[in-house]
Amino acid sequence: MTTILRNRSNNSTKDEEKDNEENKMRINTAKAVSKAVAGASVAASVPVVVTIPPTSTSTNNKIQSGIPPWHTIILLLIILILLIGNLPTTQSLDDYATLQIITKTKFPLYLSMKGLGYLRLLIGGIALSLTLHLCLLKDGWELMPNYLPKYTKLQHVKLRLQGFGTLCPFTSISWFILGIGFVLRGLLCLIYVNYHVSEDNGLILNYILQENNSWLLRITFILWELTGPYAVLTSSVVKYVIWPAALRSQQIQSNSNSNSPNNSRKHNLAGYRNQLQHNWNSIFSLLEVTVFGGIPVCLYHITIPILVGCLYMILTWLLGIYYHFGYNNKTNSKDTKKTSVGPQYIYFFMDTSMGILTTYCMVGLLFAMMTIYLFFSVIIQILDTGGGSGGGSGSGSGSGSGDNDTEDSLIVNIIFLIIGILVVCRFRD
């Protein structure tokens, strides 16, 4: 028995020695191969690079559906029901959507109705020209969403907007609304000043004043109630949320690419397009409030911009799921099979993979929209009490020169214009 045990122990010892020798051979072989590869790369002056897929989370945790959380959907449905049930009546719209209000000049001593009409047409033409340029002529642009790393389950990839896809951002939609609104208000001013002096009022003015055509005035006024608050909301979000996030992302990318600084991509928020759509949208809207016409924003119409904002959220989620903002990935140049990268959103606060934070972001955006609308409504009323609306009878003849505090009111309005620009606009890092 002792002999058998010794033989077994000797055999096991030999097996272990054999395994150790094989392991040593494997290790030596691996070292030799690695040295050969390293030598070849050095000789060819090509560094060995480990490619990491552009994901913000592990592949196992990424989502593909993009459907918002159930609590986000339920809360949004409740909000939509409340908003639709409290939309303003046509009578409420007609009380404000009049030619006298829309074509009013706030300071007729300094700006005639015809001049106001041409200024509005100029601003509207600039806005619509840029929109057409981006949709039809320019080859779009790329952007990198700044998803929140601790919460998102989306892949972090570059998105490309081109063609009519450039209308997907809220910035582009609000800019388009601004352009259409300024064009309509400018045309109404010119039509009114040209045909109001005629005894028969002219065919065009009569057509506008027809009861069946009152929707033209209603739409024009609703576009204004969307233009101002949306412009200030866009500028504020860019200044206080998107721009700082872009700087942080750029700093992180710069630190990670410290050995190759050429790979770090600088944001383009200071480019001409972003300056127009992120800053001049608010400047134009504030000019309309303080210097041009001072058109009121009715407090009881607050459900309209919030409803449009909710509809935009739904549109963004659908585009993020089905359109991916034009992004598809190919494994190689010869492969015709396109691999989906999952849902993608141009705004990190529209990310549907963040759980309860998605609901918080939705509520925060709607609250910000409501606050800015209330701010606009109250500020316009305060500025109008200073005498700036005197003489705005709609005739364009400057008959309101009898108001003694017109110059003081103009100064107050200009001061507010400057303060508003400084508060909501950002022009550089």
What is the rounded distance in angstroms from the CA atom of residue 259 to the CA atom of residue 68?
39
Question: Is the pLDDT at 231 greater than 90, yes or no?
Answer: yes
| 424 has a pLDDT exceeding 50 | yes
Q: Stretch 179-201: mean pLDDT, rounded?
A: 82
Distance CA 145, CA 351 (A): 10
- Give the whole-angstrom CA distance, residue 125 versus residue 136: 16
Residues 336, 160: Cα–Cα separation, whole Å: 19
The partner residues of 159 in beta bridges, in order of sequence, read 143
Q: For residue 94, what are the contacts with CB-CB under 8 A and spacing of at least 6?
A: 214, 217, 218
3 state DSSP class of 251? helix
pLDDT at 81: 98
The helix/strand/coil state of 355 is coil
φ and ψ at 329, to 5 degrees?
-120, 135
Lowest model confidence (mean pLDDT) among 145-149, 255-259, 282-286, 331-335: 331-335
pLDDT of residue 211: 57
Q: How confident is the model at residue 1 (pLDDT cuts 50, 70, 90)?
A: very low
Model-level pTM? 0.76
In the chain, the percentage of residues whose pLDDT exceeds 90 is 44
- Averaged pLDDT score across all residues of the chain: 78
Contact 380, 297 (CB under 8 A): yes
Whole-Å CA distances, 418 to 274, 286, 288, 291: 20, 9, 13, 12
Q: Which residues pair with 142 in a beta bridge?
A: 160
Task: Calculate the dihedral angle through the C-alpha atoms of 73, 154, 140, 277, rounding to the nearest 10 degrees.
Answer: 50
pLDDT in tens, 157-172: 888 888 888 888 999 9
Over residues 409-424, the mean pLDDT reads 93
Greater confidence, 328 or 242?
242
What are the tokens at 347? 């705004």
Q: How far apart are CA 229 and CA 239, in angstroms?
A: 15
Decide which of 196 and 190 is more confident. 190
Distance between CA atoms of 84 and 147, rounded to whole angstroms? Answer: 32
